[in-house]
Amino acid sequence: MSTRCRFAPSPTGQLHVGGARSALFNVLFARATSGKFVLRLEDTDRLRSSVESEKRIMEDLRWLGLDWDEGPECGGPGAPYRQSERLSLYQDALAQLVSEGLAYEAWESSEELMALRKEAEANKTSFLYRRRDYSPEELQAFEAEGRTPVLRCVGSSEDIVFTDEVLGEIRVPAEDMDDFVIRKADGFPTYHFAVVVDDHHMGVTHVLRAQEHLKNTARHIQLYQQLGWEPPKRGHMPLIFSMTGGKMSKRDKAKAARQMTRESGRELAELAPLIGMTEEDLRRFMKKKNDELSTAEALANALGVDLPEIDVIDFRRSGYLPEALVNFLALLGWNPGDDREVMDWAELVSVFTLDRMGKTAAKFDREKLEWMNGVYVRGSTIPRLVEAMKDYGQFNAAIWKDSDDAMLSSIAELFRERATTIRSLEAQCGWLFQRPSEYGPAKSIKKFLLRNEGQGLGVLSALRPELAQMASWDEEALESVITDFSQRHTEGKLGLIAQPLRIALTGGPVSPPIFSSIALLSQEETVARMDACLAHFTE
């Protein structure tokens, strides 16, 4: 059978970068083995699942270039690809287990289960549910109360043993296997049951996912055995930790927001109305009573700071290129067997194998990601960067929002050598769209404008009418006029002209090549900025 991998997110929020890496490894393995990649949406959590989340997850996957062969919006032989549309398959499998005495109804309320857990905790033992016998009177009372039973499967009587493609042999003792829920009181299957039925009917041959799911695998293999099906091969990939240790989590945003709020020194009474909250609710957030993402984002906006990127959309908004993020994620827990780090998609597919997957947690080095993204920025074609600049503008009030493709191309060409992200590229070119309101640093002003009785200001004053009278305005014409001016006024020392010009046009002594920089400004704007600079230092 050909390889069939799947990625099966729950549409209850944004796509976490860890989930994106799981999807990536499944796509890479499918492509490397000439197999198929299946996308399935596990939407049995009816309270939290949403169509909006589905759309965001699929958009994020497509942005990363992780297209699926089968799944929502493209169909396939395993359709439908939403669990909420596959209930008849689950009901058939549930009925099979019940008829064979391998599943039964359990009637305990949430409060009763909690009491059992507390009792086990008091006895310093793990809580493992085992089948309980109910008297006719108890069942009658449960029904009178309006209780709806869940369905539990009978725990395995034998050790569960399987070979993990990454971790090797795994053994879970039978005494650690409980009678777990496979159908909830609302009639929907639990994750553990639905995933087994779906993987079987969709012909999944390999389940590749993070090690945090390892504890669930024994349950899934037990269900395969009870249903008489052949389980797929398993591979559990290392977790992703932050550089300070600990799993990367969406809670990191709340943690960062609290820290930034404390460091700001702002009073909660002042901040609360700015973010549409009561002071009491904000205090609850600061005391870690909740980790609401909306509160964290509102605080970050009020303080003018950025939260750490955790979800794929965060990296997109920050101006990372998807190809760079994919390359970086591929190296978290896997290596190509040599020192290669920058690899395009074709190269990743050509060398990807499961035997080079690591077993220990990988650290998410943000500095390395930024470095790698810079490599991709500098190596991209200008049209590709223009596309990325436009994408960045969808999520940010980009300074170039009203610029045409020709201007965007010029910006990309001029600034990409020093850029690591599209955001950093934007930060460099801000002077193109906004006149300097101040000039500095003081040391540069003194050196390039005021020294030798204001030599630099004199150069600007003399050059100004020559630039104002130019008949054509492009890089070649500017270079010719300014070079000729240099021969006549500064003995050919172009730096005595370039630095005063940079300060007048950008506010400081650093910019891309001077002729290219001036060419991006209009003739009128260039002369106006020179006039403003002269007026600033001579009035």
Residues serving a catalytic function are 250
- Helix, strand and coil content of the chain, in percent to the nearest 5, comes to 55, 10, 35
Cα–Cα distances (Å) from 12 to 46, 57, 203, 290, in that order, read 9, 10, 25, 18
Cβ–Cβ < 8 Å for 187, 137? no
Output the six-digit token pair for 185. Answer: 């009181």
Which residues have C-beta within 8 Å of that of residue 88, sequence separation ≥ 6?
none
- Please report, in angstroms and rounded to a whole number, the separation of the first and last CA atoms in the chain: 83
Which H helix or E strand runs over 25? helix 17-32
> How many angstroms separate the CA atoms of 313 and 14, rounded?
8
Residue 181 three-state SS: strand
Give the type of residue at 94. L
> How many angstroms separate the CA atoms of 33 and 29, rounded?
6
> How many angstroms separate the CA atoms of 364 and 410, rounded?
34
Which residues have C-beta within 8 Å of that of residue 277, sequence separation ≥ 6?
285, 295, 298
Q: Which of 239, 257, 240, 300 is nearest to 275 (CA)?
A: 300
Which residues have C-beta within 8 Å of that of residue 498, sequence separation ≥ 6?
514
Which H helix or E strand runs over 325? helix 322-330
Provide the strand spans (E) within 350-416: 362-363
Cβ–Cβ < 8 Å for 48, 341? no
Secondary structure tally for the chain: helices H, strands E: 24, 11
> How many angstroms separate the CA atoms of 517 and 512, rounded?
6
Cα–Cα distances (Å) from 357 to 209, 210, 225, 235, 337, in that order, read 12, 11, 28, 9, 10
